[in-house]
Amino acid sequence: MTELIYQTDAYCKEFDAIVTATEEGTRGVVLNRSAFYPGGGGQPCDFGMILVAGVEYPVTQVKKQGASVFHFVGGDQPLPAVDAKARGVLDWDRRYKLMRTHTALHILCGTVFRDHGALVTGGNMDPLEGRMDFEFETLRGELVGQIEAAVNAEIANARALRVKILPRDEAFQIPDLIRTKINLLPDGIMEVRTVEIVGLDLQADGGTHVRNTSEVGHVRVTDYKSKGAINKRIYIQVTD
């Protein structure tokens, strides 16, 4: 089982850990604790390196398998020994850009839900750019401009973000906790992580975010498309 540092401290850039397992065929390394985000909810996994006994192992992919986080490493060095002391170092520039982008998409989701009542039907992101699909019948340039202005107004409002991990029953007492058209939380998940943009948005989410909307920067809608009768896609770019 891996302690998920990123769930409660998104700003952890480096951490100490112990190697608990390795997998030769995939060059996977399991640690007892990790700040590497393993991907999910449209947010890509983190990159970086693991240092063990002076050897640097580049982390090229991270995945959560059951209760463990697997760090898949490049290179041809022998994998570290189980019980070895390790230090994880994130590619912080990339991670922080993803945190800004993920928060921007939450602001987009929150403003669209507040102003138009539209649910999310899909989404994806890369560092400083992303897209989100909404249950809109029509989406025109004037409305897109209004949405962009509303998003940047909320960034300027410098709203704090709060993360909580709640028992499932308690979490599902929160109105509109699930903003996706389909509830993506499996029945077996007994604790639900929530992310709140204070005064704007509160929903279930497993990704990493900045502490305050003012850290996002500026959001520009770069395009919008129809992806079906009641499915419209908005593309955004995040700039300084």
CA 98/CA 125 separation, integer angstroms:
8
Burial class (CB in 10 A: 0-12, 13-18, 19+), 81: exposed
CA 182/CA 192 separation, integer angstroms:
16
Token pair in block for residue 73? 């490493």
Instruction: Say what the alpha-carbon torsion angle 12, 18, 20, 23 is, to the nearest 10 degrees.
Output: 70
Share the mean pLDDT of the chain.
94
229 in the same domain as 112 = yes
Give the domain range for residue 22: 3-90
Picking from 63, 90, 117, the residue at the C-terminal end of a domain is 90
44 in the same domain as 7 = yes
121 in the same domain as 173 = yes
CA 84, 62, 96 angle in degrees (round to 5)?
A: 105
174 in the same domain as 99 = yes
105 in the same domain as 188 = yes
The helices-and-strands tally (H runs, E runs) of the chain is 3, 15
Q: What percent of the chain has pLDDT over 90?
A: 85
Kindly state the DSSP code that residue 40 receives in the 8-state scheme.
Answer: B
CA distances to 164, 191, 211 from 68, rounded to whole Å, are: 21, 16, 27
What does pTM read for this prediction? 0.94
Domain count within the chain: 2
167 in the same domain as 137 = yes
pLDDT single digits (tens) 181-214: 555 566 667 888 999 999 999 998 999 999 999 9
pLDDT single digits (tens) 118-163: 999 999 999 999 999 999 999 999 999 999 999 999 999 999 999 9
CA distances to 80, 85, 183, 190 from 193, rounded to whole Å, are: 32, 29, 14, 10
CATH number for position 156: 3.30.980.10
CB 88 within 8 A of CB 50: yes
33 in the same domain as 134 = no
